[in-house]
Amino acid sequence: MAKHRRIRPVSETVLLEGRNVWTVNANPSVAVRGESLRMFRGIEHRRWDPNRSKLGAGLLRTRNDPTLLLPNAGSTVLYLGAGHGTTISHLHDHLCGAKNRFGGRLVAVDLAPRCLRDLAYLAEHRPGLVPVLGDARKFDTWGVLIPSRVDWLFQDVAQAGQVEIFLSAVRRFLSKDGIGLLSLKAASERHNDGGDDDIFAAAIAQLSSEVELLEHINLTGFEDQHALFVVRRR
């Protein structure tokens, strides 16, 4: 007998099924990183591995409504520190869909040419994804690609001063009441004696002074020394 696990749709394209997250595959029958593909009600879904994606882990861990963590399908979003595109691909599934049927726009910035190689390949099969080779801190060089403020912004840059970079990105590109997500890697901050908890506490204080902190999601277990902060711009 097949196990019956509770299936909870988060959006039209994202499913929570027990401890798994699935997104409708926008590039049918192709797995981006060897993740499993599976049919739900006749539609092919890709498994969103929470061990590889901090956003995926956040969806499972959040105590609030998971829809809060995702942008509206068909909107323009900004992603700083895109990496090799694991999270990006699922976000694209949700935001743009197959052949960009929702009309979304996902601007993904990363500094490393090696990462951009994978992203550019991804973008060829996924219209709506705009990879940018540039420094996430140098808004002047690629900011023109975001002509109006976005409602959703994600940052995962893993370098010292992450919170400051995030706040300046929020100031420049996030609209009022827009949602910003910051994935904070404690080990990337300058070494201090207090340990990770102190780093997170300092980040919370810094964030709260400028934006409304909605949730602090501890990712221990999926990604150690990491936390996901969900904020709303005042």
Partner 1 sequence: MWLWYSWQSAAVVNDEGDILDVEINEARFSVHGAKERLQMISEGHLPPEAVVLKERFPEAKPSAHGSAELPEFEIPQPTASQLQVADEAALLLAKEGVAVSAADPDRRLEHLLRASEELRTLHLTMEARLVEWVGLFLPSARFERNRTHVAGQLSSVDSLSDFASMLDVDDAYEQPSDSEWKSLHDWATMVSKQGRQLDRLEHAIRVAAQVHLPSTSALVGPLLAARLCVEAHGRSRLARLPSGTVQVLGAEKAFFSHLRSGTAPPKHGHIFMHPWISRSPRWVRGKIARMLASKISIAARIDAFEGTPMSQNDVDEVEAKVEAIRKEFSKPPRR
Residues that bind partner 1 (CB under 8 A): 105, 107, 113-114, 116-117, 119-120, 123-124, 130-134, 139-148, 168, 171-173
User: In the complex with partner 1, which residue's Cβ is closer, 158 or 214?
Assistant: 158
- How many angstroms separate the CA atoms of 17 and 93, rounded? 17
* Cα distances (Å, whole numbers) of residue 77 to 33, 41, 163, 189, 198: 23, 29, 19, 26, 31
User: In the complex with partner 1, which residue's Cβ is closer, 22 or 173?
Assistant: 173
User: In the complex with partner 1, which residue's Cβ is closer, 15 or 132?
Assistant: 132
User: In the complex with partner 1, which residue's Cβ is closer, 20 or 76?
Assistant: 76
Residue 163 beta carbon to partner 1: minimum distance, rounded to whole angstroms: 16
Residue 162 beta carbon to partner 1: minimum distance, rounded to whole angstroms: 17
**Burial track 42-53 (b if 16+ CB lie within 10 A, e otherwise):** eebbbbbbbebb
User: In the complex with partner 1, which residue's Cβ is closer, 146 or 217?
Assistant: 146
- How many angstroms separate the CA atoms of 64 and 5, rounded? 21
Look-up of token digits 């221990």: 220
Please state the φ and ψ torsions of residue 123, each to the nearest 5 degrees: -65, -25
Residue 161 beta carbon to partner 1: minimum distance, rounded to whole angstroms: 15
Residue 69 beta carbon to partner 1: minimum distance, rounded to whole angstroms: 25
Residue 134 beta carbon to partner 1: minimum distance, rounded to whole angstroms: 7
- The strand pairing partners of 174, in sequence order, are 150
Residue 147 beta carbon to partner 1: minimum distance, rounded to whole angstroms: 5
User: In the complex with partner 1, which residue's Cβ is closer, 130 or 227?
Assistant: 130
Identify the CA nearest to 110 among candidates 58, 173, 159, 49. Answer: 159
Type and span of the H or E element at 20: strand 20-24
